[in-house]
Structure 1
Amino acid sequence: MHVAVYLPLLLSLIAPLGARPLAERCEPRLATCLLTTSALVLGAATTISLGLLAVAGLVRIPQLAALGHWSAQTARHDDPAELSVSLIAGLLLGGAVLMAARMLWRRARSLATAAWEAACMPARDGLVVVDDDTPDAFALPGLPGRVVVSTGMLHTLDESEHDVLLAHERAHLTAHHYAFVALTQLGAAANPLLRPFATAATYTIERWADENAATATGDRTRVARTVGKAALAAHRTPAPARTTGAALGILGRRSPLASAGPVPRRVAALLAPPLGRHPALTAATAAVLTAATLSTAEAAHDFHLLLRTIGAWS
């Protein structure tokens, strides 16, 4: 536990540096899965590490050690962390749990609202056309979900581009992209150092839908043109904020990557050959996640042995 308990915390500092390369060089669906898994595994591992450090500090306090029939003196001798470190870990753990619970509540509420709105929308083949001059299009999760398109967006695009728009939005629903968003945000809520994974996943989800649209229509150039036209129209006339907070759109405006130019990167990717799986990045990601998992398991096992030791000397 002396080293293993700190390794997930160290990895959460280093691993996010690989989020951008994964998003840019790896096939979008695989990249999204790797980013989501990384956020969840590292978020869980760091939370467990903080919990172990915090509890290890609590058993050094005689009054608390007596509750478990442990020896506080032995705990002070064998504990791998100073009491100050345990106190800081406890504060960080409390913040992580609070932020994760807050994020889960807000996400569950927004998805429930989206599902209710989707159920109340009359649709034909899952498509809802809204009489609004503002160019907008997004997927609304629900049972079933809805693709919502404004008349302004339909007028902005040519008829030959409407199928691209629908293929993109339907890809968000069929692949349950809102779940990937929620899971990466959960990991980032538990550990803010992991926010680059959530940011990159928002981009790769849009790229995933772009590639699905390209496969469905058989014309990558037309998809690239549609994405560019929709973005330019939205830039001239910004769409109002959506109340549900659970919609995914072709424009990708909700992405924190907007300042870095996600739309031009998506267009460039569509005009280039499809990306491959990039075995080196996949293997590196798997190695990091394996190291985090094994170190967390090792730290938990060492903590169990610590409790047995201080219990034997109580």
Structure 2
Amino acid sequence: MRIAVYLPLLLSLLAPLGARLLSERCEPRLATWLLTASAFVLGTAGTISLGLLAVTGLLRIRELAVLGHWSAGTAQRDDPTQLPVALIAGLLGGVAVLMAVRMFWRRARTLAAAALEAACMPAQDGLVVIDDEAPDAFAIPGRPGRVVISTGMLRALDRTEHDILLAHERTHLTAHHYAFVALAQLGAAANPLLRPLATAVTYTIERWADESAATATGDRTRVARTVGKAALVTRPAAARTPSAALGILGRRTSSAGVGPVPRRVAALLAPPLRLHPFLAAATAVTLAAATLSLAEAAHDLHHLLEAVGI
């Protein structure tokens, strides 16, 4: 456990670099999978690593050793982890678990509420048109999900742009983008260093939907113009928009405005990104290293427990 137990935590420091490279240079669908897997795996591995360190600290406490009939002296001799480090790891691990459980509960409640709201919406072919002059459009997950468009948005766009908007929003539903966002946020909740990965996922799912709309319509330039036009006519997210909703302008808040729309427009005006196997391989190696190091640390802890008599 001298080095292996710390490796998943150290790999989290690469999150800003990985988020930038994958979101800007890799095909959006693959980038979303890689970013989500990275956030979830590193968040889980880091939390378990903190737990392993905390256990080694408990083994060194003589009062607990007397109660549990194990040898605290053997633990102090065979385990290099200092007690203060183990105690800090235990505190951080407890906070990580609490934050992850809190995020899981919030996301579960949000998605359940969205699904219930979607089920109660009368729709034609999954489309709900609301009478509202404020231009807005978003997708709500559910069984089935709903695409909600305001009359203001329909008036602001022409017929071809309507098709692009629908193709974008339906991709959010059919590709289950809400699950990617939820898993990435779960990993980031456990380890704040992974927040760049979760933020990048909210961008790449929009790029994924943009590219799907471009494929469906066969006109990348028109999709870029539609995204830009929707950004110009749409005001900051209204209070009525469900928190689980995904719109053509991304996940918005009252202060966040339209988000990274200029980057998406520029990407649509450029040639499509390729899969980039080197970045995919580098991500796979990173996640494999985190997983194997965690397995090695757990194996070392097993031998330590045998040595102290547990």
TM-score using structure 1 length:
0.95
Task: Write the distance in 2 (CA, Å) between the matches of 1:213 and 1:67.
Answer: 64
Aligned mates of 1:83, 1:62 — CA distance in 2:
12
CA contact (8 A) 2:237 2:257 kept: no
Q: Could you give the per-residue CA deviations for residues 132-163 of structure 1, whole angstroms, max 9, x where no partner exists?
A: 11111100000100000011111111112100
Counterpart residue number, 2:84: 84
Counterpart of 2:224, as a letter, is A
1:1-314, aligned counterparts within 5 Å? 1-234=1-234, 237-242=235-240, 244-254=242-252, 262-311=260-309
Query: Deviation of residue 255 (structure 1)?
Result: 8.0
Can you give the 5+ residue segments of structure 2 that lack an aligned partner in the other structure? none
2:273 maps to a residue whose letter is L
- 2:19 and 2:286 mapped to 1: Cα distance? 12
Identical-pair percentage: 77
1:16 CA drift (Å): 3.2
Distance 1:255 1:64 in 2: 49
State the TM-score, normalizing by the size of structure 2: 0.96
Contact 2:36 2:198 in 1 (8 A): yes
The answer to whether the 8 Å contact 2:43/2:191 transfers is yes
Deviation per residue, 1:220-243 (Å, 9 max, x gap): 111111100001112xx3231346
Aligned pairs, how many? 310
Instruction: Give the Cα–Cα distance (whole angstroms) in 1 for the partners of residues 203 and 240 of structure 2.
Output: 19
Letter in 1 for 2:287: L
1:213 positional shift: 0.6
CA distance in 2 between partners of 1:134 and 1:68 (Å)? 66
Matched position secondary structure for 1:93: helix
- Offset at 1:32? 0.2
In 1, Cα distance between equivalents of 2:241 and 2:213: 27
66-75 or 56-65: bigger deviation:
66-75
Change (3 A) 1:287 1:259: farther
> Within 2, Cα distance between the matches of 1:195 and 1:83?
29
Contiguous gaps of at least 5 residues in structure 1:
none
- Verify the 8 A CA contact 2:128 2:148 in the aligned structure 1: yes
Partner AA of 1:303 in structure 2 = L
CA–CA distance in 2 between the matches of 1:150 and 1:226? 16
RMSD over equivalenced CA pairs, Å: 1.8
Distance in 2 of aligned mates of 1:55 and 1:211: 48
Superposition deviation, residue 63 in structure 1: 2.8
Contact 1:135 1:239 in 2 (8 A): no
